Structures are given as structure tokens and as C-alpha cells.
């Protein structure tokens, strides 16, 4: 899955601005828009976290979420 194929889960749309970490993703209406990672469907979140070649990438995301910037 490429970054342009990330998808928002319609059941998670109420989580907009939950993490403050934003990506470009397809909304349920098919339009691409900025979305908080909390809104992504499970497959898209997994693909996004695996989108880098380093284990440090998902670790840095968790650290950011926990306030250890």
C-alpha cells in the first residue's frame, strides 16, 4: 500500500485531531484529505507504520504520542 492509498475508517472519523500526527488519506467519500493517524483503518495504519525501512520509525511515533519528542 502506498502513502496515497491510506484510507480513513468511517467508524473512526470522530477521532480527528486525536494524535496530532497527520497523513494524506482517502476519506470514505473517496476524496483525499489530511487525516489524523487515529482515523486510519487498521490496514492503512499498519502500512503507514511499516512505510520506513527502520524499526526506529514506529518507535519514534509511539514516543511522540507519549510526549517524548
Judged by DSSP in three states, 13 sits in: helix
- DSSP result, 3-46: GGG-BB-GGGGGGTTSSS-EEEEE-TTS-EEEEEGGGB-HHHHH
| Averaged pLDDT score across all residues of the chain | 89
User: How sure is the predictor about 1, in pLDDT bands with cuts at 50, 70 and 90?
Assistant: very low
Domain limits, the chain: 3-65
Residue 3 confidence (pLDDT): 44
| Rounded (10°) CA dihedral 31, 32, 36, 37 | 110
Q: What is the pLDDT of residues 2-24, one digit of tens each?
A: 445 999 999 998 999 999 999 99
pLDDT, average across residues 35-46? 95
Is 25 a residue whose pLDDT tops 50? Answer: yes
Amino acid at each position: 500500500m502506498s502513502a496515497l492509498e491510506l484510507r480513513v475508517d468511517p467508524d473512526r472519523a470522530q477521532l480527528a485531531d486525536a494524535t496530532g500526527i497527520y497523513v494524506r488519506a482517502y476519506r470514505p467519500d473517496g476524496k483525499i484529505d489530511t487525516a489524523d493517524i487515529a482515523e486510519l483503518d487498521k490496514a492503512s495504519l499498519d502500512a503507514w507504520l511499516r512505510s520506513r525501512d527502520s524499526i526506529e520509525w514506529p518507535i519514534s511515533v509511539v514516543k511522540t504520542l507519549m510526549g517524548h519528542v
